[in-house]
Structure 1
Amino acid sequence: MSLEASVQDLLIGVRAIVFDLDGTLLDSTGAWDIVNRSSFLSRGMEYPSDFMSKISGKTAMDAAAFCIKEYNFDDITPAELADKWKTIYMELFRTQVPYTPGAIEFARAAKSRGILLAIGTACPHDAINAFFSERPHDRALFDAIISCDDVSASKPDPAIFLECFKRLGVNASEALIFEDSVHGLEAARRSGARAVAMLTGPHPPTDRPDLSTHVASTFAELLCFDQ
């Protein structure tokens, strides 16, 4: 298995690839939907259909604070709500969350070309650790994993990506970022790197073609299967 020809052209001059996690590398939308929905259902409230888009890119604590303020959850603190979410998502990430189609195969193919790999995500480290606890060989592919836990600002601030570049020892011009959300693509542009818009998440950034140099429906279409 190798990289499709147009992607090989895209990777000319690229020393590092940075992947977003939720919705890009991982098909984790369903897991977060279960986590978020639980807070509303336990209060007899209807789950807002736009909730996921409103908290996209936020840390768990920021999302909890937003939820409490926006929907009048006056019986809980942000820390308590974030902790309740953690109890649910840790098990889901360990046992139920899969890769998006072709994602890990693409990462392996890129690694085989000598490209440095990183994950830059708003997902907390404990969820990341839960996912990779059953996949240690996959985790070893990544030279850096930067979470919202490691920086002071969430996407669309570019802090997560800038920290990835720092850890990898590359310039922004040498990096390519894969993202599935407008906030993530905005962060990528502000970091100075090029970006590929992935249509793998719940809110594909189809209305912002200016934010990416390439668009892909899945990682599988970026691969070719050697005969």
Structure 2
Amino acid sequence: MHQFTYLFDCDGVVLDTESQYSKFWAHIGTLYYPHVQSFAEDIKGMSLVDIFACYFPHEPQQREIKQLLDNFEESMEYIYIPGVEDFLKSLRDKKLRTALVTSSDHNKMAQVYSAHPEIKDYFDYIFTAEDIQRSKPAPDCFINAARRFDVATEDCIVFEDSINGLTAAKESGTKVVGLTTTNTEEKIMSFCNLIIPNFIGQTPDSITAHFAFLS
């Protein structure tokens, strides 16, 4: 059976944190962009650097928002998406290649490692915002991950939830599994080869079987 490389977004795919971030960024949106009702959705999947570049070019605003975000992330709940731990453990048992590809920065990931020190063992590599120049929806992060493994992007399966992340995955040429943890199936179907609600009942073999004929 064809052997794929498995690439995972973090928030909304491995960790059930997107709803918490939605509330935080919706609040920031009401403060700075009250006329943009979709602000929290528009920035999902983007790195903080790119959010600042696009929406908050002034340093005083950046300092204020960064402090609010740091305080928020310290108090967040970092809960696994249902079924994802078993799925990741199965991938490790089968010695399949895995990477976490996130737009989060080192400070945020330090909070994740504190809550779940075992998460590092689930992945061969963890790529963060500091590893790329352009964040999602640019495809750079997934292309970079494939290069690190020395595999073609079409031999990678990406698990994503946000529109920006799904756009990046599709543009990179990978096979795309969309999770409905953040958006509806109708909203993400045009980006995906496969849609799942979470990882309950999913196995590496079931995912691989779905994509084997596409390779």
- Give the TM-score taking structure 1 as reference length: 0.77
Change (3 A) 1:48 1:194: same
In structure 2, distance between residues paired with 1:112 and 1:47: 49
Q: Partner of 2:15 in structure 1?
A: 26
User: Could you list the per-position Cα deviations for residues 11-57 of structure 1 after superposition, in whole angstroms to 9, with x for gaps in the alignment?
Assistant: x423310001111111112331353355467x699796522211122
Query: Residue 65 of structure 1 contacts residue 78 of structure 1 at CA under 8 Å; is this kept in 2?
Result: no
Secondary structure of 1:127's counterpart equals helix
1:153-182 residue CA offsets vs partner (Å, 9 max, x unmatched): 011211111111122232212211001122
Asked whether the 8 Å contact 1:64–1:79 carries over to 2, the reply is: no
- The correspondence of residues 69-108 of structure 1 with structure 2, limited to 5 A, is 76-89=60-73, 91-93=74-76, 96-108=77-89
Residue 3 of structure 2 corresponds to 14
For residues 44 and 122 of structure 1, what CA distance do their matches in structure 2 show?
22
Percent identity between the two aligned chains: 23
Q: Cα distance 1:44–1:185, how it changes in 2: closer, same or farther (>3 A)?
A: closer
Change (3 A) 1:75 1:159: closer
Q: Contact between 2:22 and 2:41, CA under 8 Å: does it hold in 1? A: no
Matches within 5 A, 1:99-178: 99-178=80-159
Count, aligned residues? 204
Runs of 5+ unmatched residues, structure 1? 1-11
Tell me the equivalent position of 1:9: none
- By percentage of residues, which structure has more helix? 2
Amino acid at match of 1:26: L
1:217 equivalenced with 2:197 (yes/no): yes
Question: Is 2:42 the partner of 1:59?
Answer: no
Q: Distance in 2 between matches of 1:48 and 1:87?
A: 24
Shift in alpha-carbon separation, 1:173–1:223, aligned structure 2, 3 A = closer
- The CA RMSD measured in Å over matched residues stands at 2.8
Amino acid at match of 1:88: F
Deviations 1:171-221 (A, max 9, x none): 2122110011222122112212111111112x2452343322211011113
Cα distance between partner residues in 1 of 2:14 and 2:68:
25
Q: TM-score, normalised by structure 2?
A: 0.81
Q: 1:194 aligns with which of 166, 170, 175?
A: 175
